[in-house]
Structure 1
Amino acid sequence: MLRKTISIDEQLFSQLKEEGILDHFKNFSDLVSNSLQKTIVIMQKENYRKQIEAMANDPIVLDDIEEIQEDFKFADSEDNAL
């Protein structure tokens, strides 16, 4: 376990106590770790979304998609004939 010191806004900490949020965790460290893990997941999803968005506008990717569609055109028409 890595130990780090953090500073937190006093009003934010009071709100955590008033809302009973701290009661759902073993300790404050557990709350911070849990929150950071959720932040990592959110950021990973956002980064993935941005990568997909960038790929959607990438001419090389679009050419690859077109080529794949062309390759499977015959196979798709066989399924429709059945």
Structure 2
Amino acid sequence: MLRKTVTINDSLYDVLKSTNITKQYSSFSELVSNALELLIEKNKKEQYKKAMIEASQDKLYIQDMEDIINDFKYVDFEEK
């Protein structure tokens, strides 16, 4: 495990303490690690959303999606 020293604003720490957020974790390191994991997930979602917006404006991507929809449009009605 990597060890790093973290410095945070006093007012931010006061908010963490007053809202009992620090009590939800076994250590401050766990709190910071959890917060960083959430930040990474948020960033991934934002990047995915950005990529989907870009794809929605790409004529080749749209055509590919339309082709796939047409190829599989009857699958929902197949009986086993």
Q: TM-score range by the shorter chain?
A: 0.7 to 0.9
Q: Output the TM-score relative to the length of structure 2.
A: 0.79
Listed one character per residue, the Cα deviations across residues 51-70 of structure 1 (whole Å, up to 9, x for unaligned) are: 11110001211222344455
Larger Rg: 1
Q: CA RMSD in A?
A: 1.8
Distance apart, 1:11 and its partner CA: 0.7
Kindly tell me: are residues 67 and 5 of structure 1, through their superposed partners in 2, closer, same or farther at Cα, counting changes over 3 Å?
same
Give the paired residue count: 75
The residue that corresponds to 2:62 in the other structure is 62
- Could you list the structure 1 runs, at least 4 aligned residues long, displaced by more than 6 angstroms after superposition: none
Structure 1 residues not aligned, in runs of 5+? none
In 2, the alpha carbon distance for the partners of 1:18 and 1:69 equals 53
Q: Output the TM-score relative to the length of structure 1.
A: 0.78
1:1-82 equivalent positions in 2, closer than 5 A: 1-69=1-69, 71=71, 76=74
